[in-house]
Structures are given as C-alpha cells and as structure tokens.
Amino acid sequence: MGNRPQELRALLDSVAKQDGDPVEVVVVGNGAPVPDVPGGVRTVELPENLGIPGGRNVGIEAFGPGGTDVDILLFLDDDGLLANTDTAQLCREAFAADPRLGIISFRIADPDTGVTQRRHVPRLRASDPMRSSRVTTFLGGANAVRTKVIAEVGPLPGEFFYAHEETDLAWRALNAGWMIDYRSDMVLLHPTTAPSRHAVYHRMVARNRVWLARRNLPAPLVPVYLGVWLLLTLARRPSGPALKAWFGGFKEGWTTPCGPRTPMKWRTVWRLTRLGRPPVI
C-alpha cells in the first residue's frame, strides 16, 4: 500500500541476502505508488486497490502467464523480514524432495519476542508452533507455492479482496492431490498485530466464509460448516458493532455471487479429516 517504505526496504534486503541463486523480486503497488526499491527489483503500480488476492495475482502474472517463468513463488508481507538466509534454499530443497508438495506455510514470529501467535499456526493443534507438520491451509503473507499448483487449480480468488483467500486456494490444491506443509524452520519476522485492525475485517471474514463454503464444500457440509462458525463467532462475544458487521457480511455471502462452484471430492474431505481439520471447522 506504499505506507511502509522502511519495512519494505528491510524485507527486500533480507531477500537479497538469501543463499543460493538470486531470488527474482516483483513489488506490486496495490493502488499506491511503489517507494524507492533496490536496482533489479521490478515494480508494478496498480491504479486501484485490488485487495490482497487481486494484488498477489498481478504479482504472479509478472512472472509469465500463471507465473510459469519460475518454479516457485514466494509471497511475503511488506512489513515482514526473512529471519535467516537459508529460507529460499530450504524451499528449493523441500519442493525437490517431495513432488506432491504444493505449498509451504512459513512460521511467523514477532521480531522482539520471538513469539508465534496461535492464529499463525495453520492447524487446530497450535500450542507448539515449533512443530512442523502437514496442514490444510497456509498463511497468506509468508508462504511458497509451486507454480504448477496455480497452473492446475487457478490463482487466488480475487473477488474475496481480503480474508480466507488462502484457504480457498488450499482446498482446491488439496482436492487436486497436492499437499501443504507448515515449516517452523522457515521464519518471517512480523510485528504482532490483531486482524481486526482492518476496518473491513468482520464483514469480509463473514462474507468470505460463506463464499468459501459455497464454492468448495459438498452440499451437505455447507450448513454444518457455517453453523459451526456462527456458534464460534457468538461464543467469542464480539462487540455490538462488530457483530452487526459480521451478520451483514454473512447475509452478503448468501445473496451475492461467490464465483464458480467446484465442490471437493469426498476423499478430499477424508484427507482433511485425517490431517486433523475436517472441513466443518
């Protein structure tokens, strides 16, 4: 968004220090001018904010149609920082060792405390962020995706704008037979924040949750999944304005187009269940 030039420069410096072959970099200005960047870094400035998935999709296309000029795509938040110099090489080795590995989710840690927030561990059993494992989704601001996944299942859902776009891509990838790993040794340093800092958080989370279910789940699981999330939302006792925004988004999710519906196979439901997160929560 162009409002964190110092953090962006620090991130780009950490990418430039990666071991092995140099990492090609594209910075997308999502409806904002791109600050000064080091030589060799390509930039794309969009006339309007396309949202998180829309901006990342533009970045994908900067590496050829569907990103096919490269083998692996890294997505990194502009206020993050790669903690170690071997992250890119670890990605190369992981994808080379497992031909069915499609996506890697990095560990996000606070730069001052080293603490990883529970919500940044993409599994239900999140008490030990230092344990790597197979997972069913990934973190949008710190991940690596094999470009063959994009070619097979398509890009991020641009219409989501913000929230749950990663899970939509993850479910489509899993349904196509790809696997997702959470790697605690691949670290992005990022200040601890609350997702509700975004003004659109409650509405987008609710709307996109409905869209996610309508697009991807077998019909019998749609009401179960959304019913569980309704109960969880009420149990968290949000404020009156937050709850009003959430219900407005929930209604919007049912009354507006969600994009193409391609329900996952029942064997994918079973795979998600075996990985510890059945698609009802």
- Answer whether 253's CB lies under 8 Å from 208's CB: yes
pTM above 0.85, yes or no: yes
Q: What is the pLDDT of residues 205-221, one digit of tens each?
A: 999 999 999 999 999 99
Query: If we measure between CA atoms, which residue out of 160, 163, 156, 161 comes closest to residue 119?
Result: 163
- Confidence check: pLDDT of 232 > 70: yes
Report the pLDDT averaged over residues 103-117: 96
Task: Please enumerate in sequence order all residues whose Cβ is within 8 A of that of 105, keeping only pairs 6 or more positions apart, or say none.
Answer: 122, 135, 137, 138, 139, 142, 143, 180, 181, 182, 183
Report the pLDDT averaged over residues 271-278: 96
Query: If we measure between CA atoms, which residue out of 114, 116, 156 comes closest to residue 137?
Result: 156
What is the spatial distance between Cα 16 and Cα 24, in angstroms, rounded to a whole number?
A: 9
Per-residue confidence at 192, pLDDT binned at 50, 70, 90? Answer: confident
